Chain A
Amino acid sequence: MEKVVAVVGLTKSYGDVKVVDDVSFSIGEGEVYGLLGPNGAGKTTTISMVMGILRPDAGEVSVGGIPHGPEEMRTKALIGFVPQQNALYEDLTAVENLHFFAKLYGIPRAEAGGRVDEVLAAVGLTDRANEAVSQYSGGMARRANIAAGLMNRPRFLVLDEPTAGVDPQSRSAILEHVRALADSGVAVLYTTHYMEEAERLCDRIGVLDDGRLVAEGTRRELVTRLGERDRIDLAVDGSAGDAARLLEALPGVHAAAAKDGGVELSVDNASELSPAIVRTLAEEGFEMRSLQVREPDLEAVFLSLTGKALRD
């Protein structure tokens, strides 16, 4: 597999805070690389530096073997960008927006029309192509945002949480499209909050926490790193945060975090520990509604690595 993108030692501070700390990874042809991390982990900041939009304090990015930077037009032409924020001119139609981006990438007029149709079809917006983007629903605008990133038929596609706010059906279509692009040889950098997306789509995953890449590997490699650890999901009445702090002190509990009103635990052995968990909660006046032991998955990996739930 040929390397398309190499990122080495990217670092960025705002004031005294290191928001991205020595992040390195590479992405091969046809590979989807997922950056997984909670809010504020530094995903967008990393991507901005990879794109050459933000100047890093340290570190280098190369694309197709060419050192990439803010004024390097050769590499920029190779990259497709789908920013986290919908980046379209709301007062213009989708078609007007896409033709404008086509011109920025130097796509000849004769070819641009066909490309516009192609990317609109890919995100299922052909019917509404001539409406102002301001008239779109949130999900449609997200899809138009993705279409704009595909206009230049990139060798390297960067997507920053592209499916946030998109309905499950469209999300599925988008994931399939990204997979198809990767299968055609495009290198993809993909950030997400959604565990299922990362599991389903990404060939390799980098776990980002507080600006540092704490683990990297295929889903299988990451899960294997957990060893014998199990994951337990609890539903409790009362403060989930208090319950998590309480349970974290138990011997054999590796990490505990509140999530969606419940508590998520990473433990050495679920069946041995369950009685102690039930007892402790009862003693402290928490009413437990359910306890589920889960197969090790990325969520568990994340919890075990960072001590945090992916979505707080």
Chain B
Amino acid sequence: MRVIAAITAKDLRQRLKDGSLLLFGLVLPLGMAFLFAHLLGDGPGDGLDIRYLVVDSDGGGLGGVFVDDVLRPLDEDGVISLEEAADTEEAEHLVEEGEADAAFLLPQGFSDTVAGGDRAVIEIVGSADSAVQVQIAREIADSFAVEADASRTAVLEALEAGADETPEALSQRVREQPAPLSLVDDTTADWRELDTATYYAAGLAYFFLFFVVMSSVTGILDERRDGTLARLLAAPVRRSAILAGKSLSATIVGAAGLFVLAAVSSLVLGSQWGPLPGVAALVVSGTLAAVGITAAVVTFSSSSEQATNRISVVAFGLGLLGGGLFPVAQLGALSVLSFATPHRWFLHGLAELGGGSFAAVLVPVLVLSAMAVVTGALSLFRLGRMLNA
């Protein structure tokens, strides 16, 4: 333990003498977050302004349920503002003009499609300038589609089980049920999206975290080049302690950077990161995941320059995919892939936290910790080979 602390303290002392920390840890993420938040989003501190249109070409029961039981209550609560448009063209025009953020298009025969046993599709037309609002619209529609699907399955099952009503009558009955409560719950669950200022501050902070921890973690390769690693290895110090000391200093630097960014972006940009214990859990597990990933890359590299290049590529790749640079959630298939990145889980965790549910942070924290453990174990395993090369 004492040795790990000594290595950590020595690394921190060296890092403090080096300017990249300030650049990657503070100046770049804050500057870019400030820029993005002002270019793309609402002003500091405002809640999200959401204007939706709905075009109900269905005329049947299911479309009515969606409009009356899903969208209207949100409108009445002031969460969104909802207008009806006469037809698809008008809706598209208004969205294009920026009069609305997104439009829900309920196609003709929507109810019948569902009743006939096919998948229900609610189309979304979204404005490119309102990424977050469009994403929310999509998730509302998706969760309703899932519900409608469940109802359809219920009808089919009832038929197979020998119910003696016609399919039409059965689905009529399902439709006449008030929208299931669970639907409303799901909608609010997906509702937990970060406001723009927080999204960009957090996304960029986590994106640049990889560059902040990078110089600490690649330090082991610098030490090998400079010969000081030979001294560490000659001393009565376990190899795992060398890795632990380096990882710890990287974690301290990384986590401290995230905390400072959270504080500064809250003050300057009006970001809302959420309650401290939840933020702390996400920051620490998120930093550990970043340290583990960078450490694993380092153990596959032969020089600090090579490792730096590779980590930069990995950090950009994961950052783009995971939404560290812009919201990827609305990109459909990519949105699923994004859950392979720590960025997505970090942002997802913060969003859950913003939704007020502390317990919901547990899953992102566990996923991030698992990423840290797996990559950390890989690094440790690779370390022996690297040190003997």
Contact = CB atoms under 8 A, between A and B. Distances in A.
A81 B234 contact: yes
Contact of A77 (B6, B228, B233, B236): B236
Given A71-B239, A104-B6, A81 B388 contact: no
Given A89-B10, A92-B13, A70 B239 contact: yes
Interface in B1-19: 2-3, 6-7, 10, 13-14, 17-18
A206 B382 CA distance: 36
A81 B235 CA distance: 9
Interface stretch (A47-55, A274-282, A284-292): A47-55
Contact of B13 (A81, A96, A104): A96
Interface string A162-203: 000000000000000000000000000000000000000000
A106 B2 contact: yes
Contact of A70 (B3, B7, B227, B233): B233
Nearest to B14: A91
Main secondary structure of the interface of B (DSSP, over half): helix
Contact of A81 (B14, B230, B237): B230
B264 interface: no
A104 B14 contact: no
A73 interface: yes
Interface residues of B, number: 23
Interface string B279-292: 00000000000000
A91 B227 CA distance: 14
B388 A104 contact: no
B119 interface: no
Contacts, number: 73
Interface string B194-227: 0000000000000000000000000000000011
A103 B234 CA distance: 13
A52 B18 CA distance: 32
A52 B234 contact: yes
Contacts of B7: 104
Contacts of A55: 388
Contacts of A103: 2-3, 6
Interface in A63-92: 70-71, 73-74, 76-77, 79, 81, 83, 85-92
A83 B236 contact: no
B312 to A, nearest CB: 23
Interface string A252-294: 0000000000000000000000000000000000000000000
Contacts of B232: 104
A101 B235 CA distance: 8
B231 interface: yes
Nearest to A81: B234
Contacts of B228: 87-89
A105 interface: yes
A120 interface: no
A90 B3 CA distance: 20
A89 B225 CA distance: 12
Main secondary structure of the interface of A (DSSP, over half): loop
Nearest to A79: B234
Nearest to B231: A87
Contacts of B227: 83, 85-87
Nearest to A104: B235
Contacts of B237: 73, 76, 104
A54 B3 CA distance: 21
A90 B17 CA distance: 12
Contacts of B18: 91
Contacts of A51: 230, 233-234
Contacts of B238: 71, 73
Q: By CB atoms of chain B within 10 A, which of A89, A96, A103, A104 has the most?
A: A104
A136 interface: no
Contacts of A48: 230
A77 B237 CA distance: 9
A148 interface: yes
Contact of B235 (A83, A89, A105): A105
A51 B237 CA distance: 13
B141 to A, nearest CB: 57
Nearest to A77: B236
A113 to B, nearest CB: 16
A76 B234 contact: yes
A52 B17 contact: no
A71 B236 CA distance: 8
A52 B236 CA distance: 10
Nearest to B389: A54
Contacts of B10: 89, 92, 100
Given A71-B239, A103-B3, 12 more contacts: A70-B233, A73-B237, A73-B238, A81-B230, A83-B227, A87-B227, A87-B230, A89-B228, A92-B14, A101-B235, A104-B232, A106-B2
5 contacts: A48-B230, A54-B388, A76-B235, A83-B234, A91-B18
Interface of A: 48, 51-55, 70-71, 73-74, 76-77, 79, 81, 83, 85-92, 96, 100-101, 103-106, 148
The 3 A-B residue pairs with the shortest CB-CB distance, nearest first, are: A85-B227, A103-B6, A87-B227
